[in-house]
Amino acid sequence: MGSDTVAFVPTLTVLPGRAAEAYPAAEFFAGIGLVRLGLESAGFRVVWSNDIEPDKHRMYRGQFADPAGHHEFSLGDVGLVTGDELPPGLSLAWGSFPCTDLSLAGWRRGLVGRQSATFWHFTRVMEELGAAKPRVVALENVIGLATSHGGEDLAAAIAELNRLGYSVDVLALDARRFVPQSRPRLFLIGALDPPADEPVPSSELRPDWLQSVFGDPSLRTHRAALPSPPPPLTAGLSELVERFGPTHEHWWSPERTALFTGSLSAIQSARLESLKRGKSYSYRTAYRRTRQGVAVWEIRPDDVSGCLRTARGGSSKQAVVQAGRGQVRVRWMTPREYARLMGAPDYELTGLRRNQALFGFGDAVCVPVVSWLASNYLLPLVRGELSSAPEVALAASGG
């Protein structure tokens, strides 16, 4: 890895003085543990995790040493997990259930799809916990959940959480507000003791295309008053790319680079030529697409990465383009760059296969997004620091 790299360091909100009173949390579909990094930076303590992928488990184990045995990782199908396996006293349960059947790039089978149907196992386990279920649950998925099956899947997810006693808030938050990566995601926050609704609905966190669920009288929802997240970044990729010399093996050969540039459209070629004439190097990411049956490359126009994805298909992998001083060089994005773009610049990568690392990060949740939600919403909700909904306050007063 290049030693002269200037790393982009995401801003995490860490609450002081909370280590001794960390709130226990469980993470379902834990992947490589980026949710854990975000939750624990805010004051939670993840005590139990589950995932089915052995490769992700190996990455998780390499990142989180636990010689004292304070954490349990359940490796296997969530369908085999039962409520009595979870430790008592959980404050929060987080579930980033698979997006395969809900992604805009997927089959859109919705919550009845084989993988996204794991959502129902998450709620089954919550039900099996009975009175010991956590006061707060958080679910994360692609924004395609909001429109899957005409919005019926999102409504079904909310209705299921309602059945368990949770009122549900729905937020849309893009990792681009924290790191230079476009990665919009949907978050469902369930609360047994919901907070009061914000006086004026926030369009930043709950855009118009989310409003229908809040107006559905059959669903129990709330909209907590939250601070505005940071504005979306317009640059920053160039600060975190690894620097390699012109003869480094990572750069593609002249022949492969020529195939890359030759596949560009006229607009794309003009964009690259403009960057090439620069007096200093610029960096962009590029995706391979199929247009009218032909494989072509498309370069992003800005200094921000496209959404990182799992590295199981050629079109899912991003290339890094270096252009300037009359030169153009192209290479695949590195695992360390994936880690930085996910807000985990110091993640342990020693001994990992390249595709193992790319798959782990491409299928994860951006750390500072989790940290922002945990610090500004989840932890205050668990601690009872948000204003109660009117009906909750009335019940508490004996009215």
Going by pLDDT thresholds of 50, 70 and 90, the confidence category of residue 394 is: very low
Quick check: 286 pLDDT over 60?
yes
* Strands 136-142 and 167-174, sheet pairing: unpaired
Structure confidence by residue, pLDDT tens digits, 60-98 = 999 998 866 889 999 999 999 999 999 999 999 999 987
Sheet holding 167-174, edge to edge: 72-75, 44-51, 23-28, 92-95, 136-142, 184-191, 167-174
Going by pLDDT thresholds of 50, 70 and 90, the confidence category of residue 311 is: low
- Pick the residue with more confidence: 200 or 392? 200
Going by pLDDT thresholds of 50, 70 and 90, the confidence category of residue 102 is: very low
Q: What is the pTM of this model?
A: 0.88
Q: Distance (Å, rounded) from C-alpha 174 to C-alpha 176?
A: 5
Sheet holding 319-324, edge to edge: 294-299, 282-291, 319-324, 327-332
Structure confidence by residue, pLDDT tens digits, 343-363 = 999 999 999 999 999 999 998
Going by pLDDT thresholds of 50, 70 and 90, the confidence category of residue 303 is: very high
Domains assigned to the chain: 19-232+361-396 (3.40.50.150), 243-333 (no CATH)
For residues 329-351, average pLDDT: 97
134 within 8 A of 46, measured Cβ to Cβ: no
The highest-confidence range among 67-81, 101-115, 182-196, 299-313, by mean pLDDT, is: 182-196
Going by pLDDT thresholds of 50, 70 and 90, the confidence category of residue 382 is: very high
Q: Distance (Å, rounded) from C-alpha 348 to C-alpha 344?
A: 9
Extended beta strands in 266-308, E state: 282-291, 294-299
Structure confidence by residue, pLDDT tens digits, 176-189 = 999 999 999 999 99
Q: Distance (Å, rounded) from C-alpha 372 to C-alpha 378?
A: 9
For residues 299-317, average pLDDT: 81
Mean pLDDT of the chain: 88
Question: In sequence order, what are the beta bridge partners of 324?
Answer: 327
pLDDT of residue 384: 94
